[in-house]
Amino acid sequence: MVLAGGLLAALVPVLSGDPEGAAGQGKAAATDGLRHTTVEVSPGGCGRGWGNPRAGTQVFDLHNTSAAAAEVYLTSPRSGAVYGEVEGIGPGTTRHLRVRLGRGSYAFRCLPDDADAVTGPTVRIDGGGQAGPAAAPVTEHDLIPPALDYQKWVAGGLDDLVGRTGTLRAALARGDLAAAREAWLPAHLAYERLGAAYGAFGDADQQINGTSAGLPDGDRDPEFTGFHRIEYGLWHGQPADSLRAPAAALDDAVRKLRDDWAQTRMEPADLGLRAHEILENTLQSELTGRTDYGSGSTLATARAHLDGTRAVLTRLRPLLVPRYPGLPHVERELSRTQRLLDGFRKDGRWPALSHLDRAQRERIDAVFGDLVERLASVATLCDARRTV
């Protein structure tokens, strides 16, 4: 696990070729020029080997001498804050943890698979400057309240979505293509704002918002359904008769999703990851034009994804405020990016990506790319960690 954005030390998951760690340690030290210390990872010897502690940037070669895989945290014994972590250290293998240490107390915490956590001896560094950033671990229990609150928010969003897909279905049922085109985008954006819940939607997400990618007959494949199937028909001159069945199927799928949602349980540990993935997917799909089937509405979708990201961050904010000093900057950048996109909307209409010049597209890509990088820290901080 590597924590982005400099919140914890970067963890370099390099597997040593020498079971004893000596050869791998020597090669790494020769390459990076840093001080290396071999530390034992085992239930009976967690943290053994760290003598003569010093401040500064250094590498711990974590060697698992036990018969089970383990993860390791370098922690503050007083607060439990984590300075660095390495997951999945296999039996007999060595992984490298690079950290910056300063004045303070430290202890390694070893968490073997299927066994209780063990904390090694406390090591004190009396000199040196400030240590690298650290954050208190987030547990799955911590994530349950924000996840439940987010689920309630999604339930309200699904109610709104049902009303909007019903309007779209009714327009096509009476053969009013102009009204259907007007109804399509508000309905689609209502769904796109629910981005952090897609994993809990299961197969319904493909039925509602799937693309033609990978289908044998592409845009004309019978398995191409949902919003994008209707979008393709509405903006490629297809008659209302050909779109009534897809609209009815979409409306039915949305209603079933809404009705089943009360029995659905989101995985609390996924919430932080989704905060990062929403805009990562925006960069990969919407801002490349891959999901535009004729409406030219990908900027509107990107804007909806910003709303969806903010909805997740709002629920995670109590956990993030004491752990993520960069959160205020992320929130400011979200607002700045919203203003940037809103500036392209004229008279209630969004321009297609193809109507933007190169400088405009590069600016949009840059601000989204920056947000994605910073939100990676949210994903890592909210990755549920063991404490026992």
Least confident of 16-30, 77-91, 97-111, 198-212: 16-30
User: Is the domain of 146 the same as that of 97?
Assistant: no
- Residue 18, pLDDT > 80, answer no
- The CA distance from 280 to 297, in Å, is 18
- Tens digit of pLDDT for each residue in 130-182? 888 899 999 999 999 999 999 999 999 999 999 999 999 999 999 999 999 99
Domain boundary among 76, 98, 125: 125
Is there a domain that residue 134 lies in?
Answer: no
Give residue 206's pLDDT: 93
Give residue 24's pLDDT: 42
Residue at token pair 């799955």: 140
User: Is the domain of 223 the same as that of 363?
Assistant: yes
User: Is the domain of 156 the same as that of 118?
Assistant: no
User: Is the domain of 146 the same as that of 118?
Assistant: no
- Strand blocks (E) in the chain: 11-12, 35-41, 56-64, 70-75, 82-89, 94-101, 104-112, 118-119, 123-125
Give residue 106's pLDDT: 97
Least confident of 1-5, 236-240, 337-341: 1-5
**Mean pLDDT of all residues in 7-21:** 32
**Mean pLDDT of all residues in 181-207:** 94
pTM of the shown model: 0.85
Is there a domain that residue 87 lies in?
Answer: yes
User: Is the domain of 56 the same as that of 170?
Assistant: no
Rounded mean pLDDT of the chain? 91
* Domain housing 146: 140-381
Whichever domain contains 212, its CATH number is: 1.20.1420.20
Number of domains in the chain: 2
User: Is the domain of 57 the same as that of 113?
Assistant: yes
Is there a domain that residue 211 lies in?
Answer: yes
Residue, of 195 and 190, whose pLDDT is higher:
190
Angle at 96 between CA 93 and CA 102, to 5 degrees: 140
Is there a domain that residue 301 lies in?
Answer: yes
Of all residues in the chain, the percent with pLDDT exceeding 90 is 85
**Mean pLDDT of all residues in 200-223:** 94
Give residue 14's pLDDT: 27
The DSSP output letter for 189 is H
Give residue 29's pLDDT: 52
Is there a domain that residue 131 lies in?
Answer: no
**Mean pLDDT of all residues in 182-191:** 98
Whichever domain contains 8, its CATH number is: 2.60.40
- Residue 15, pLDDT > 50, answer no
User: Do 136 and 10 touch, CB atoms closer than 8 A?
Assistant: no
Give residue 342's pLDDT: 97
- Residue 81, pLDDT > 90, answer yes
Cα-based distances in Å from 117 to 44, 70, 255, 314: 11, 10, 46, 32
User: Is the domain of 281 the same as that of 373?
Assistant: yes
Is there a domain that residue 278 lies in?
Answer: yes
User: Is the domain of 108 the same as that of 232?
Assistant: no
User: Is the domain of 78 the same as that of 222?
Assistant: no
- Band of pLDDT at residue 8, cut at 50, 70 and 90: very low
- Residue 339, pLDDT > 60, answer yes
User: Is the domain of 178 the same as that of 105?
Assistant: no
Is there a domain that residue 387 lies in?
Answer: no
Is there a domain that residue 386 lies in?
Answer: no
The DSSP output letter for 192 is H
Domain boundary among 125, 153, 170: 125
Domain boundary among 125, 150, 166: 125
- Band of pLDDT at residue 42, cut at 50, 70 and 90: very high
- Residue 101, pLDDT > 80, answer yes
Give residue 21's pLDDT: 39
User: Is the domain of 245 the same as that of 106?
Assistant: no
User: Is the domain of 148 the same as that of 220?
Assistant: yes
